[in-house]
Structure 1
C-alpha cells in the first residue's frame, strides 16, 4: 500500500503504541483487500461496548484496555487506549439496566456493558446505542467516507445518504477510530457505486410491508449486487427505505441500491448505471410478491402468538406513534408480550409526546439500545413471534429457534391483542 508521510509516522509510533497497532491492522487489512491506499474518515460507527463472554474474559485479564487491544486492534499486548481521533459512535448493543426484569438478559452482561460505556465515553465515543445512527444525529453528508458496521445502517448510508462505507467489522472500526483512516476500496471508489442489476416493479409498492417484500425479493436475487429499482413505486419515506435496505441486506448482501429520482446518486436510470448498458430487468409482479410473503411466513405453523416485535431497524418516532394509535383503548392478550425497539433518544421524544404512556397502558413496552437478535433474548417461553420486520422474520427463527409470522403493523397489533395470528396478504 502507498502510505502518506503522516500515515507512515503513525505506523512508526509517532502517536503512540495504540495508534501504531491500529495503523498496522489497517495496512494488513488493506493489503488483503488489494487496496492501493487509505482514505480519510471522520465518521466511525462500531460496537465497542457490546458484551460477550470473550470480552468479559479479557476485561478480567487486564481491564478494558486489554479488551480493546485484542478485539479492536488485533494486538497481543495490552495497550493504553487514547481518545478517539475522529467522531465515533456506538451502534446497537445489549439490553441495559432499564430493561432488567423485562428482557431476560444476563445481569453480568448489563454490568459489563455499563462499564464499557464509561470506558468508551471517556475516550470520545458517542453512545448512540442504535442500529439507526442516522435517526439520532450521525448523518454523514453525500460523498463523505465513513467506517460503519451494521448491514442495515451501511446500506442506508450508501444508498439514501450518498455517503461511502463498506460493511466494516469490530477491528477495522476500532482501528479507524484511532487513526481517521480506512482502506480505499469497494464502496469508497466511485466506479464501484454504479448499478449492476435492474429490478422492474410491476405490482404497485405502496406500503411499509410492500417495501420489505420488495427488498427481500431484491436481495435474494442480486445478492451482493447494486440493484436499480424502477417501476410502479409510491414515493418512499425514511421508514420505507430503511425497511427496504434492511430486507435486501438480509436475504442477500446488498450494501447499496439506487431508485432513480429518489436516491442521490441516481438522478436518472442512465446515471444509476454510470452510462453503461442497462441489463435485462428482473421483474417483480403479483406472483413474486405472493411468493416472498409466503417465504417469510413459512416458519409459522402455530397461530398462537407469544411475542410481538416491532422496530427493526430501530423504530422512528412516527412508527412509535402509529403503534400507539393502533393500541389506543386496547389491552394486550394475557399470554402475549409486545416490544417496540427504538433508539433511546427517540424513546425520550415518544415519552414526552405521550406515545409511550399509551403503549404501556395497553401492556406493551418501548425498549432501547438493543434487539432480540443482537442480545439473543426474547420473553421467556416464547415459541411463536410476529413482526412487521422482514429482517427479524429472516433471522430470529434461526437465532432463537422460534416460529415467525410476518405482516403489517395492524396485523401485529391485532396479534398482540388477541394472542393469535390472523394476518394475510392483501
Structure 2
C-alpha cells in the first residue's frame, strides 16, 4: 500500500509509538484488502467500549494510546452502565472500576464522551464524506441513509483511524465497493415493525453483500431498525432503498433477485421469538430517537407499569438532556429511561430469563446469550408490561 511522506514518518515511529501502532494497523488492513493507498477521514466512531465486551485485554490495548490525542472528531459507543445509576446495573465493584478506567482513557485521548450507538444524532456527517465508524448499526445508517463512506470497522481499526486521521482506501470508500449485489423486492407494504424482521431476514439470506431494496417507505426510524438488524444476522454494511437513499439511482445493477412476502417475515419472526409473556421489556437498540421517545410518551400517557414487571428504555445522554420533559412524563408510568448504555452491552439483561424486545438487533444478540425473547412491535411489548390507568 502506498504511503506518503507523512505516513512513512508515522510508520517509522517519528511521530510517537501510539501513531506508529495505529499506522501499522491501517497498513495491515489495507494490505489484506488490497488497498492501494489511504484516505483522509473527517470523523471516527469507536465501538468496544463496554468492559463486558473487551475485558482486561482491551484495557491493556487502549493504554498504549493514553499519551496521544485523536486527530479527528471522535465519538464512542455505550458502556456497561448509566453513569448516573451505575449501581442499578451491577454491584460488581471491579466491573465498575474497570469500566470507568476505559472511559478515562478515552477522555484522555480527546474523544467526545457520547456513549451512544447513534452518533449521527450528535455529529454532522455529510454525503460523500469519508469517515471511520465501528458500530454495526451506525455503519449502515452512515453509508445508506446519509451517504457517507465507511467500511465495517472494528473498534480497533476505528481507534487507529481516529489517531492518525486516515483509513485504508478500499471497499465502501470506493464507488465500485458500494454497488448493489442483490435486488430485494417486497411483495407487500411494510409496517414499522416489519423493518426489524426484514433486516433479520435479509442478513440471514444474503449474509455478505449490499441489497437494493424495492418497496420501502421513507421513515428514518424504520430504516435505522432495518439496517441494525441486517448487519447483525449478516455482514451487510449498506443498503440502497429505491427512491429514498442518496445513491439509489446509480446502484440498481444487481443480478440476483430475492422476493420477500409476509410469510417470509412470519417465519423469520418465529425463528427468533417465543410465545411467552416477558418479565421485562427493553427498548432502544439502537438508542431511541427524538421521534421514538415522543411516540413512547404518547402511548404511555395514561398507562402504568404492571406489578412485578419492568420497562427499561435506552437513549443517548444528548437526547435525554434535550427532552427532559418528555423523559419525566415517560417515567411517571413507572418506566425507567437510561443513557450511556443499552441492554446488549450492559449486564442488565442477564437478570431475566424472558425479555420483551422490539429490536431485531437486540433480539439476535440477546438470544445468543440463551435468554428467551418475545419479539414483537413496540406497542405490543409496551402493552404487555403496562395497563391503562
TM-score norm. by structure 1 comes to: 0.85
Q: Does 1:248 align with 2:230?
A: yes
Q: 1:257 to 1:143 in 2, by over 3 A?
A: same
For the residues of structure 2 that align with 1:301 and 1:411, how far apart are their CA atoms? 13
For the residues of structure 2 that align with 1:213 and 1:119, how far apart are their CA atoms? 37
Is the 2:18–2:65 contact (alpha carbons within 8 Å) kept by the matching residues of 1? Answer: yes
Q: Which residue matches 2:13?
A: 13
Q: Which residue matches 1:322?
A: 295
CA offsets, 1:373-423, max 9 Å, x none? Answer: 11232273x121111111112221222x221111121101111126xxxxx
Q: Does 1:197 align with 2:197?
A: no
Is the 1:97–1:110 contact (alpha carbons within 8 Å) kept by the matching residues of 2? Answer: no
Q: 1:36 to 1:214 in 2, by over 3 A?
A: same
Moved more, 278-287 or 96-105: 96-105
Q: Which residue matches 1:138?
A: 123
CA offsets, 1:324-362, max 9 Å, x none? Answer: 2211222111111111110111111221xx222222221
TM-score norm. by structure 2 comes to: 0.93
Q: Does 1:172 align with 2:166?
A: no
Q: Which residue matches 1:390?
A: 360
SS at match of 1:96: coil
Q: Which residue matches 1:50?
A: 50
For the residues of structure 2 that align with 1:107 and 1:98, how far apart are their CA atoms? 15
SS at match of 1:89: strand
Is the 2:50–2:346 contact (alpha carbons within 8 Å) kept by the matching residues of 1? Answer: no
For the residues of structure 2 that align with 1:290 and 1:58, how far apart are their CA atoms? 40
For the residues of structure 1 that align with 2:284 and 2:142, how far apart are their CA atoms? 19
Is the 2:62–2:105 contact (alpha carbons within 8 Å) kept by the matching residues of 1? Answer: no
What's the Cα RMSD here?
Answer: 2.1
Which of 363, 373, 381 is 1:404 aligned to?
Answer: 373
Q: 1:301 to 1:412 in 2, by over 3 A?
A: closer
Is the 1:103–1:378 contact (alpha carbons within 8 Å) kept by the matching residues of 2? Answer: no
* Matched ranges for 1:226-237 at <5 A: 226-231=210-215, 233=216, 235-237=217-219
Deviation at 1:10, TM superposition (A): 1.3
Name stretches of at least 5 consecutive residues in structure 2 with no aligned partner: none
* Matched ranges for 1:15-414 at <5 A: 15-47=15-47, 49-52=49-52, 55-56=55-56, 67-69=61-63, 81-104=67-90, 106-135=92-121, 137-205=122-190, 207-231=191-215, 233=216, 235-266=217-248, 268=249, 271-273=250-252, 276=253, 278-297=254-273, 300-303=274-277, 305-351=278-324, 354-378=325-349, 380=351, 382-399=352-369, 401-414=370-383
CA offsets, 1:243-290, max 9 Å, x none? Answer: 010111122211111012100011x3xx213xx4x4252111122232
Q: 1:292 to 1:178 in 2, by over 3 A?
A: same
Q: 1:88 to 1:53 in 2, by over 3 A?
A: closer
Q: Which has the higher contact order (CA 8 A, sep 6+)?
A: 2
Q: Which residue matches 1:74?
A: none
Is the 1:22–1:176 contact (alpha carbons within 8 Å) kept by the matching residues of 2? Answer: yes
Moved more, 177-186 or 17-26: 17-26
For the residues of structure 2 that align with 1:79 and 1:406, how far apart are their CA atoms? 41
Is the 2:276–2:374 contact (alpha carbons within 8 Å) kept by the matching residues of 1? Answer: no
Is the 1:47–1:93 contact (alpha carbons within 8 Å) kept by the matching residues of 2? Answer: no
